[in-house]
Every structure is written in structure tokens, then in C-alpha cells.
Structure 1
Amino acid sequence: MKAWVITFVDQKGERTSLPYIGEHEPTVEEAARRIRAHLFPVMDELDLTDYEDRALMPTAKWLKEHSGVEITAITEAP
């Protein structure tokens, strides 16, 4: 397993990083799900069917539109 770091700008405009462990680099959508679970644990299982088939990355789109959270980088941990 490899360690990855997901860097994002949170709803306060602060740069934040989260660890991610996986065999491969997470996609933007996988990273967005990890961020949502961290920032909004109660909403982690939110049904995003409103975006289904209309958005390529529904969780990333939801985070940006509703919370101003934007992923800035996904890098391998040193």
C-alpha cells in the first residue's frame, strides 16, 4: 500500500491536507469522498442522485458548489 496526501482548500479558505492509503493514486472523486467524510461525517452517506448521470464527479462537484471546498493536489507522501 502507498501513502498519498490530498491537499484542499476548506470552507474557511485554509489549505488542509489529509492522508490516503491505497494501492493507486486516488481519483478526484475518491479524494472528494475522503474530504467529505472528514469535514461532514454526518453527511458522509449523502445520496447524490441529483447529480447522478449529470456530473462526472458528483462528490467533488457538491463540495465545491455547496461548501467552497476545492481539491488542489493529490501527491504521493514522502
Structure 2
Amino acid sequence: MTTRSAPGRDDVVSMLATYGERTPEQVRDRIDSLELAWLIHQVEQRYGVVLDLDDDLLMRMTSVDGAVVVLGEALAERAGD
């Protein structure tokens, strides 16, 4: 895994904006299922990891802030592998 810091709120919003070619200002706080799949794919590509997130973790990622927290936890756990 790359030794990059976990994505912050601005990073997550920027990644979500690339879905549908939106500006960051057009990204809503609520994340739908397609946006979530896109976000996870983007994180896996940028960080060179495979995230195996269970349903409980995915349910916590329904907002930008929730996604930031879960991704931070998941990437920190992967760094410890």
C-alpha cells in the first residue's frame, strides 16, 4: 500500500465529483449506492488496495463525513497488515 494519508472530506468530495463529471460544489452530502461504489473504486485505485467492507461499514458511508471516517479506519487497518 502507498504511504499516503487517508482521504479527507475535500478528497472524498473531489472523488465523488468525478462521478457524473460534476464540480465539487454539486456533490451532495448524502451518498447513494452508485456513488458509494464509485468512491470505493476510486480509493482502491488511488491507494493501491482492495477494501473488503462489510455491510455495517457500508451503511456508515451514506454521507461524506461517514465515508471519510470509514475510509480512514479501513486504510489505517490495511497499513497495519
Bin of the TM-score, shorter chain as denominator length: 0.3 to 0.5
TM-score by length of 1: 0.36
The structure with the largest helix share of the pair is 2
Max Rg structure? 1
